[in-house]
């Protein structure tokens, strides 16, 4: 039966109306997967021999020491990006097929996702290297089984977290607490991790514990999904009572104020937009990466950091205009909505939050004023230039967004466009190149001033640029309507 389901999905893929784009996205995903396979396999070789020859320590012990961190990162990545395949199951619920079969198929299908098995490649390669370097065969194999079982358990934990956002937040806070205790040496978390995971090698029967946990979680997850597996219950969109909210002072700004009010309500109420706010907050810490690698200290990469730190909300929100309004976009188009005011409201909202991010980024002055002034210039560029190009790229995003479900769309076809890729040139490559060149010629002052001037010029030319963007949105209007009306 599982093979029949897979054959149906393959037929659905090749019979779809967007076969060309689907194939393109599959090829791009395959390239990305091959890249990460190379990184993980190569990383296993580097880790083993570096630990053994440079650090003069037991590689298996060191990897066991950091296994707890790998497990937490794997769970976070799966929660953020791994989809739970329920949509393709819905048509079968009206047929004479046992629900047990459908639930088991859905659980098994989660293991086909690249997010499910990619991380295990590191440990498989590492174990093979260990075997060729004299480690005990039974010990290494059971250590591998124990480690991989824990990683695959995250698939089931992810399913529980998808329906219980509060539980996910509480777990995240607990992880932060554990991390803080380990960082400040209050609790030796890494020592306990080494003791537990290395015991899978020293006392192989301990490896049966994660295997047993894996089986128990499969059964618990099966029972949980089986009880929710009805069209009018678990797979139905959740309905909540609507609440009227209004920010009064925005009303004095007319149509633009009303649109901003709507967007603020949308950001506060829905799962997807709450994820956007959380992602924007996390972007504020993106600049810390430059202190862990010498690569990020180059002028071009410093500018990239500045663009991301100050423009996280802009990039996450702006390129999804008008996709955020996909559920009622056809209705909006019947109400003679003024396109320019509609886009200006989005623009002002993005730039207000970008300006706030520039102020918060003042914390980076702790690492040197040169870093902060670079981020400040990047913020001006985001406000004057990138905000408009980001809205422009949104015109080509015809990917529907369900605001009531947590968004996990890693390279979906609706968000892919050649024009969107080309718009990355003025958004990213231009400021990188200008800043690197002017800093090389005239130092940090020249680099900052050049980027700031471009941002200021873009700000004062916003009316003319908006006219161009509005024309583009109007050209894409009917294809956008068609995409938002057709769910499949």
State pLDDT tens for residues 363-387: 888 888 888 898 999 999 999 898 8
CA dihedral defined by 188, 194, 195, 200, rounded to 10 degrees?
A: 160
Tell me the three state secondary structure of residue 168.
helix
- d(CA 52, CA 21) in angstroms, rounded, equals 46
For residues 481 and 130, the model is more confident at 130
Per the CB < 8 A criterion, the answer to whether 122 and 63 are in contact is no
| Per-residue DSSP letter, 334 | T
Q: What would the two tokens of residue 438 be? A: 């002017």
CA dihedral defined by 382, 311, 265, 279, rounded to 10 degrees?
A: 170
Angle between helices 165-183 and 137-163 (to 10 degrees): 130
Give the list of residues 6+ apart from residue 410 with CB closer than 8 angstroms, or none: 81
For residues 207 and 336, the model is more confident at 207
Measured in degrees and rounded to the nearest 5, phi and psi for residue 292 equal -105, 0
* pLDDT averaged over every residue in the chain: 80
Please list, residue by residue across 215-230, b when 16 or more beta carbons sit within 10 angstroms of its beta carbon and e when fewer do. Answer: eebbeebbebbeeebe
Cα–chain-centroid distance for residue 370? 30
Q: For a pLDDT cut of 70, what percent of the chain falls above it?
A: 81
pLDDT at res. 76: 84
pLDDT over threshold 90, residue 126: yes
Q: What would the two tokens of residue 478 be? A: 């009917």
Average pLDDT score over residue span 80-84? 70
pLDDT over threshold 70, residue 158: yes
pLDDT over threshold 80, residue 420: no
Measured in degrees and rounded to the nearest 5, phi and psi for residue 95 equal -100, 170
The HSE-up count of residue 313 (CA atoms within 13 Å, CB side) is 23
Neighbours of 463 (CB within 10 A): 9
| Burial class of residue 249, CB neighbours in 10 A (0-12, 13-18, 19+) | exposed
- d(CA 230, CA 296) in angstroms, rounded, equals 50
Neighbours of 287 (CB within 10 A): 25
CA-wise closest residue to 200 among 50, 63, 69, 75: 63
pLDDT over threshold 80, residue 309: yes
Q: Per residue in 9-37, pLDDT tens?
A: 666 656 655 555 566 667 777 887 888 89
Tell me the three state secondary structure of residue 336.
coil
DSSP 379-441: HHHIIIIIHHHHHHHHTT------TTS----SS-GGG--HHHHHTHIIIIIHHHHHHHHHHHH
| Burial class of residue 264, CB neighbours in 10 A (0-12, 13-18, 19+) | middle
pLDDT at res. 215: 92
pLDDT over threshold 50, residue 409: no
Tell me the three state secondary structure of residue 85.
coil
**Predicted confidence band of residue 414 (pLDDT cuts 50, 70, 90):** very low
pLDDT at res. 55: 87
Per the CB < 8 A criterion, the answer to whether 346 and 391 are in contact is yes
- d(CA 100, CA 364) in angstroms, rounded, equals 54
Average pLDDT score over residue span 151-180? 82
Average pLDDT score over residue span 433-455? 89
């Amino acid at each position: 039966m599982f093979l029949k389901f897979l054959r149906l999905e393959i037929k659905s893929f090749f019979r779809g109306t967007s076969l060309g784009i689907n194939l393109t996205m599959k090829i791009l995903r395959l390239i990305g997967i091959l890249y990460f396979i190379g990184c993980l396999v190569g990383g296993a070789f580097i880790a083993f021999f570096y630990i053994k020859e440079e650090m003069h320590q037991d590689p298996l012990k060191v990897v066991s020491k950091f296994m707890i961190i790998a497990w937490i990162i794997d769970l976070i990545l799966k929660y953020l990006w791994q989809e739970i395949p329920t949509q393709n199951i819905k048509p079968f619920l009206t047929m004479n097929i046992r629900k047990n079969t459908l639930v088991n198929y859905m659980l098994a299908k989660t293991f086909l996702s690249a997010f499910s098995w990619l991380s295990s490649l590191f440990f498989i390669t590492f174990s093979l290297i260990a075997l060729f370097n004299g480690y005990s065969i039974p010990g290494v194999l059971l250590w591998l089984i124990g480690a991989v079982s824990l990683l695959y358990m995250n698939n089931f934990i992810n399913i529980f977290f998808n329906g219980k956002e509060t539980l996910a937040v509480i777990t995240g806070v607990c992880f932060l607490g554990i991390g803080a205790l380990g960082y400040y040496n209050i609790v030796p978390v890494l020592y306990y991790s080494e003791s537990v995971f290395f015991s899978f090698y020293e006392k192989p029967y301990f490896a049966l514990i994660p295997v047993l946990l894996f089986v128990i979680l499969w059964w618990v997850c099966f029972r949980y999904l089986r009880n929710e597996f009805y069209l009018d219950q678990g797979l139905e969109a959740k309905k909540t009572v609507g609440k009227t909210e209004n920010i009064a002072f925005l009303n004095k700004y007319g149509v633009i104020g009303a649109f901003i009010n709507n967007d603020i309500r949308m950001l506060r109420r829905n799962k997807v937009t709450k994820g956007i706010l959380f992602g924007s907050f996390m972007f504020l810490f993106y600049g810390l990466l430059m202190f862990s690698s010498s690569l990020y200290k180059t002028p071009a990469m410093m500018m990239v950091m500045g663009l991301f730190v100050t423009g996280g909300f802009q990039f996450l929100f702006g390129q999804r205009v008008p996709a955020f309004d996909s559920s009622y976009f056809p209705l909006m188009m019947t109400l003679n909505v003024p396109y320019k005011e509609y886009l200006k409201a989005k623009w002002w909202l993005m730039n207000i939050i970008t300006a706030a991010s520039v102020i918060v980024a003042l914390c980076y002055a702790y690492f040197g004023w040169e870093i902060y002034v670079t981020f400040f210039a990047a913020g001006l560029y985001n406000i004057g230039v990138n905000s408009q190009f980001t809205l422009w790229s949104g015109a080509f995003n015809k990917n529907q967004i369900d605001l009531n479900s947590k968004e996990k769309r890693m390279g979906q076809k609706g968000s892919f466009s050649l024009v969107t890729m080309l718009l990355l040139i003025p958004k990213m490559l231009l400021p990188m190149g200008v800043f690197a060149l002017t800093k090389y010629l005239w130092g940090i002052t020249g680099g900052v001033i050049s980027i700031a001037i471009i941002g200021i010029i873009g700000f004062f030319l916003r009316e003319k640029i908006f006219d161009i963007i509005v024309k583009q949105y109007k050209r894409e209007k009917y294809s956008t309507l068609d995409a938002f009306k057709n769910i499949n």
